[in-house]
Amino acid sequence: MPRRPIAPAPAATPAPAAAAIAAAVVAHYRQVKRDLPWRRTRDPYAIWVSEIMLQQTRVATVIPYWERWMARFPTVQALAAAPLDDVLSAWAGLGYYSRARNLHRGAREVATRWGGALPRDAAALREVPGIGAYTAGAVASIAFGERAPLVDGNVARVLARA
């Protein structure tokens, strides 16, 4: 049986082109960014909560829920100590209740394993129950300045077209 030739690996984007793309994306963000409450903080817990709430939910819907949540459970420790019924009650109306259960379970793990402080890098954040690659990258980059990738479905679709 004849062997098929191996296709060459795609060429990497040259560094100057990648830098230009990054600069264009940042410039665009600065022009169109919205003032959102979770963008006014570097608190990794607040960012984590926002990222989970924003999954499958519109920003306009999340804002009042996030503000009430942060008032009710202002820290990882407060969330970890709360009864699950209180957590689910605070989540009522957002749907996808597994997100609330995962936040609660994750907060308990962070409280016991890391003393209430979220890990500072994306790899360690992935060890927190309910935190996947995108959320880990978002928290690590926004809260701690780590250069972590943030590839959601929208980004993947754009990159697939390139």
Is residue 71, in this structure, part of any structural domain at all? yes
Inform me whether the pLDDT recorded for 15 exceeds 80: no
Of 13, 103, 31, give the one whose Cα is nearest residue 66. 103
Is 128 within a domain?
yes
In a domain, 32, yes or no: no
Q: Residue 151 domain-assigned? A: no
In this prediction the pTM is 0.84
Question: Tell me, what CATH number does 96's domain have?
Answer: 1.10.340.30
Evaluate if residue 110 carries a pLDDT over 90: yes
The pLDDT, as a whole number, for residue 151 is 83
The catalytic residue positions are: 51
Q: Does residue 17 belong to any structural domain of this protein?
A: no
pLDDT attached to residue 9: 52
Q: What's the domain count of the chain?
A: 1
Instruction: For residue 52, give its domain range.
Output: 37-144
- Per-residue pLDDT tens for 51-97? 999 999 999 999 999 999 999 999 999 999 999 999 999 999 999 99
| 20 found inside a domain | no
Q: How is residue 127 written in tokens?
A: 């060890």
Is 47 part of a structural domain of the chain?
yes
> What is the pLDDT averaged over residues 137-153?
92
Residue 122 maps to a domain: yes
Nearby residues of 88 by Cβ (< 8 Å), 6 or more positions away: 97, 100, 101
Residues 95 and 68: beta-carbon distance below 8 Å: no
DSSP 121: S
